[in-house]
């Protein structure tokens, strides 16, 4: 495990990361460069406000990829809810013309994809666990 990715908190040491992907409602390609830059700033702000960090992100015209890191007490569903909910409200306030292009003014599709990301592979963890009894 890469020791540089470990975070020390008061009661634990952790490396908890998520790859999160979601799309614009009906995959409408409405996220132009100005909106993308605004959203990138908002995602970082939301993370700071809500207790998680954004390590990387990429926005396309119709969907978003975020690499987030959080303390184990922060639920992955909370991260998604905060990112999507707050960013949608702020974006529609900043770019009111978007609401006309969206069904009922909803910016994001209600579904999302999330995957946990660690610094070692799933196979390496399985082998490590399987060999614990053979270690002295």
pLDDT tens for each residue of 3-39: 467 889 999 999 999 999 999 999 999 999 999 999 9
Phi, psi of 15 (to 5 degrees): -150, 85
- Which residues share a beta bridge with 70? 52
For residue 42, give the H/E element and its range.
helix 33-50
- pLDDT at residue 41 tops 50: yes
Question: Is it the case that residue 1 has pLDDT exceeding 50?
Answer: no
Of 18, 26, 113, 128, the active-site residue reads 128
What domains, with CATH codes, occur in the chain? 3-130 (3.30.70.1290)
The answer, yes or no, to whether residue 135 has pLDDT greater than 80, is no
Tell me the whole-structure pTM to 2 decimals.
0.86
Q: What is the SS3 assignment for 90?
A: helix
* Residue 128 among the catalytic residues: yes
User: Do 25 and 107 touch, CB atoms closer than 8 A?
Assistant: yes
The reported pLDDT for the residue numbered 63 is 96
């Amino acid at each position: 495990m890469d020791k540089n990715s470990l975070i020390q908190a008061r009661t634990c040491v952790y490396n908890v990361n998520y790859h999160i992907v979601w799309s614009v409602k009906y995959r409408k390609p409405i996220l132009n460069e100005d909106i993308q830059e605004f959203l990138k700033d908002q995602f970082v702000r939301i993370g700071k406000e809500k207790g998680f960090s954004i390590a990387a992100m990429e926005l396309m015209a119709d969907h978003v990829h975020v690499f987030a890191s959080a303390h184990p007490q922060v639920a992955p569903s909370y991260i998604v809810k905060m990112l999507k909910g707050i960013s949608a409200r702020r974006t529609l306030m900043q770019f009111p013309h978007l609401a006309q292009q969206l069904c009922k003014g909803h910016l994001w599709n209600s579904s999302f994809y999330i995957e946990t990301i660690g610094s070692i592979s799933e196979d390496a963890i399985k082998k490590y666990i399987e060999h614990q009894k053979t270690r002295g």
